[in-house]
Amino acid sequence: MRGRIAAMKYRKLRIAWSVAWGIAAVLLVALWVRGYWWFDCISGPIPAPFTVQSLKGNVDAIKYLHLTSGFIFPWKWVIFAVEDFGPPTFEIPSWSFTSNQVEVVVRFPYWIVVLIFATFAATPWLGSRFTLRTLLIATTLVAVGLGLIVWAAGAR
């Protein structure tokens, strides 16, 4: 009986957690689909000047390195139609990392963010007990994922 009461104690919190992350994942899917017709860009000053862009199934996160001293960087949201850009002159890969003296740019596809948010939504419903085998499998999957990232970064 005591275990059942303990399990019921956090049930509403688990439901609220799952609903919040689930709604965030659904909204990201909507933004992902919208990105094929509209270019969205939001900029802001916190913690350093940054920009997040959405275009054609990809997210670009840009951090500006040398705009902090005396430069006012207000919050701004810009929207353009994708057709205003014209045909692309070159194709940028879905996974990319660029760094120079002015900015650091990381590009990744939407599906990875949606997958992470969906994982956060499902996490409270998994069993709280795990074995050494589960830990080894999770560690192996993380190592394979990191290895694929390093391989993809070196393949340019």
Q: What is the pLDDT of residues 4-58, one digit of tens each?
A: 555 566 788 888 888 999 999 999 999 999 988 888 888 888 777 888 898 888 8
Do 53 and 117 belong to one domain?
yes
* Predicted TM-score of the model (pTM): 0.68
CB 6, CB 51: distance < 8 Å:
no
Do 136 and 80 belong to one domain?
no
Mean pLDDT across 95-105? 83
pLDDT at site 43: 87
Do 91 and 136 belong to one domain?
no
Mean pLDDT across 90-112? 83
Do 69 and 9 belong to one domain?
yes
Do 121 and 131 belong to one domain?
no
Domain span at residue 152? Answer: 127-156
State the total domains in the chain: 2
Do 132 and 104 belong to one domain?
no
pLDDT at site 143: 94
Do 8 and 30 belong to one domain?
yes
Do 106 and 132 belong to one domain?
no
Do 85 and 8 belong to one domain?
yes
Distance, CA of 99 to CA of 137 (rounded, Å): 34
Beta bridge partners of 154: none
pLDDT at site 68: 54
Do 132 and 113 belong to one domain?
no
Do 118 and 141 belong to one domain?
no
60-93 pLDDT tens trace: 988 887 765 456 668 888 888 888 777 766 677 7
**Torsions phi, psi of 119, nearest 5?**
-65, -45
pLDDT at site 150: 80
Split at pLDDT 50, 70, 90, the class of 1 is low
Do 34 and 92 belong to one domain?
yes
H helix runs in 35-131, sequence order: 110-122
Residues counted in the chain: 156
Distance, CA of 74 to CA of 91 (rounded, Å): 30
pLDDT at site 26: 94
Is the pLDDT at 124 greater than 60, yes or no?
Answer: yes
pLDDT at site 79: 87
